Amino acid sequence: MTSADSSSGPLAGVRVIDMATVVMGPYAAQILGDLGADVIKIESPKDTVRHGTLHRTPGMTPLNLNVNRNKRSVRLDLKDDAERAEALELIGTADVLITNMRIGALRRLGMDYGSLAAANPRLVYAHAQGFRPDSDRAGLAAYDETVQAASGLLDLAQRSGDIGQPVVLPSIFADKVAALTIAYSALAALVHQRATGQGQLVEVPMADTLLAFNLVEHLQGRLFEPPEGPTGFALSMNKGHRARPTKDGLAMIIPYSPQNFRDLFCAAGRPDLAEDPRLAGEFVDGRRDGEALAELIESVTPALTTAEWIEVCAKHSIPVGPVLKLDEAADDPYVRDGHLLDVAEHPSEGSYRVVGVPMSFSATPATVRRHAPLPGQHTEEVLAELRRGE
């Protein structure tokens, strides 16, 4: 944990106002904070990210500790005229505003893009919500699960698993993909702002973002008009695309080329399987043979331990990865050596694990400078700076 008063990151000197709730907007703002921006969070007393059964201090949940680090918290009631005026003045000092409030509410508060841009034309206004504001779904409440459904992700899960009622991906996937999109879109708009002095409105609808994300590989035959085949990327849809049992656990061992398969079978002591005619060509037909070959792989992988398979796969350039159990992640050498879950001391929460910054910069290192704040912890500090014109 570095000093909260200094930023060496590439966004040092950039001010971001986080006027968002839950995960999508706050995670995007947290990323910009990790990159060195001064992030000021205008707190909502109803932000569900502060509600949960796991906490040492009320409001300081694990999710909150993750997505609200590198921020200062200001408690302002936007329905109160005087406090809303202070919020507007604070936004007037910002380079970037991130919000996921509904457009109707923003207009009633005088915080829509048109109103704020008139006072601060340099403002990059990043607005995120579930569906496009000009669509018939604009007013629908959007949650990660509903966006996974609306983006085709559940359809892919149903087809690849051949199950009647697919479950959602066990991650807040849509929120986090949208958060990454907000972050890089805001950065692109900042480049334009620095070059021209002008801000702009950036809209990031979750459903559109995740649909575009899914279709990179899964559009497949429907890319052509008329269609040349169905949607669905064969390798990803392969029902045999799963972790393999080893002598002492599980590993994701994924041979791709015919030579990968031959080397794997020989290493397992089954050179006879390397003579399979499906491995004689230049490529493996995953759509046709993937599931059958998966059964062959899983018949031989118990011959070696996970560590032995990693050694074999490294030698023969076979893609491999041990199955990390999240409960054991802090003790994993890769995680430990990368400082991805170091222990830090929070002023109110005591010892806790800090998720590391995953990227590195040789000249402008990104850092975790501030622990996630208590609600409204920096209200007086930030408003005093505002009065001084800082």
Summarize pLDDT for 6-43 with one digit per residue, the tens.
788 999 999 999 999 999 999 999 999 999 999 999 99
What CA–CA distance (Å, rounded) separates 107 from 303?
A: 65
- How many Å apart are CA 353 and CA 374, to the nearest integer? 17
Provide the sign of the torsion angle of the four alpha carbons 344, 348, 350, 354, taken in this order. Answer: negative
Q: Where are the beta strands (DSSP E) in the chain?
A: 15-19, 38-43, 71-75, 96-99, 124-129, 200-205, 244-245, 250-253, 320-322, 341-346, 350-355
Reported as a single tens digit per residue, the pLDDT across 185-220 is 999 999 999 999 999 999 999 999 999 999 999 999
- Which residue, among 317, 350, 280, 274, has the nearest Cα to 55 in the 3D structure? 350
| φ, ψ dihedrals at 74, nearest 5° | -120, 125
Give the pLDDT band (50/70/90) at residue 121: very high
Model confidence pLDDT, tens digit, residues 126-166: 999 999 999 999 989 899 999 999 999 999 999 988 788 88
Is there a contact between 55 and 203 (Cβ–Cβ < 8 Å)? no
Q: What digits encode the pLDDT tens for the residues 243-263?
A: 999 999 999 999 999 999 999
pLDDT of residue 7: 83
Structure token pair of residue 241? 């695309």
* Contact assessment for residue 174 and residue 164, using Cβ atoms and an 8 Å cutoff: no
Which DSSP symbol is given to 104?
H
Longest CA span, the chain = 80
pTM score, whole prediction:
0.94
Give the other-Cβ count within 10 Å of 316's Cβ: 16
State the average pLDDT for the chain: 95
